Amino acid sequence: MATFVLVHGGGHGGWCYQKVARRLRAAGREVHCPTLTGLGERAHLLNADIDLDTHIQDVVALMTFEGLEDVILVGHSYGGMVITGVADRVAERIRELVYLDAAHPRGGESLEILAPAQMEPTRAMGRTVDGIELVMWPFPGMAGFFGITDPADVAWTEARLTPHPWKCFGQPLRLENGDAAFRLPRTNINCTHALQNSPDEARARQLEGHRNFEIDTGHDLMITEPEAVATMLLEVAG
């Protein structure tokens, strides 16, 4: 039976998948929701060396030390960068990749390159603290940026968001094993707004999968539409 590994996006943590994970576990599935180094409950580990490679290694190490095989590896937003790198390193452990309204990088591309319209203002609003350039500083109303409108969800999310090291967004994806990551089956779960407003090339990548789902909701679909996301993930698992 497939195991789910759910990777969060920028400024978030494994906590953001609580609603989805609860539903997947109720269906009898094993679920891991790692928090990437320097974020969420691991914010105390923040340091100047954290970059995309660090976060790829976080997930590779989880899968290796837990002995996970037949993994459905899910990435939200920036998490699409991470899971593509993980798939490059340990393709043999992965059954399928699932991109949740996520980045779809190729080798040599960074999130800064893929989404300049979002990343340029994000960096402009950053701050450097103890020699670490940090972006996505939480502010009141930030949950709205992620498409969250329910007051309870807004309060819950904003209490947990943390700043994110810029190096993660600026570092290009480094592939070590050719096209290994791109030979794996992949599913896309896109938000309608993202599809409608993406440039043509980005939209083509958002639909470049063996399966494509669409949900008319905000960017943090695992919080706003957990039932729909969990149902789609269970369909992927079979």
Which CATH number characterizes residue 143's domain? Answer: 3.40.50.1820
One DSSP character per residue, the chain reads --EEEEE--TT--GGGGHHHHHHHHHTT--EE-PPPTTSGGGGGG--TT--HHHHHHHHHHHHHHTT--SEEEEEETTHHHHHHHHHHH-GGGEEEEEEES-----TT--HHHH-HHHHHHHHHT-EEETTEEEE----TTHHHHTT---HHHHHHHHTT---EETHHHHSPP--SSTTGGGSS-EEEEEEHHHHHHS-HHHHHHHT-SSEEEEESS-S-HHHH-HHHHHHHHHHHH-
Q: Rounded mean pLDDT of the chain?
A: 97
The answer to whether the pTM exceeds 0.85 is yes
- Average pLDDT estimate for 27-50: 98
Name the pLDDT band for 168 (thresholds 50, 70, 90): very high
Total structural domains in the chain?
A: 1
149 has a pLDDT exceeding 90:
yes
Name the pLDDT band for 201 (thresholds 50, 70, 90): confident
Residue ranges making up the domain that contains 193: 3-237
pLDDT digits (tens, 9 = 90+) for 87-106: 999 999 999 999 999 999 99
- Residues with catalytic function: 77
Name the pLDDT band for 1 (thresholds 50, 70, 90): confident
- Average pLDDT estimate for 151-175: 98
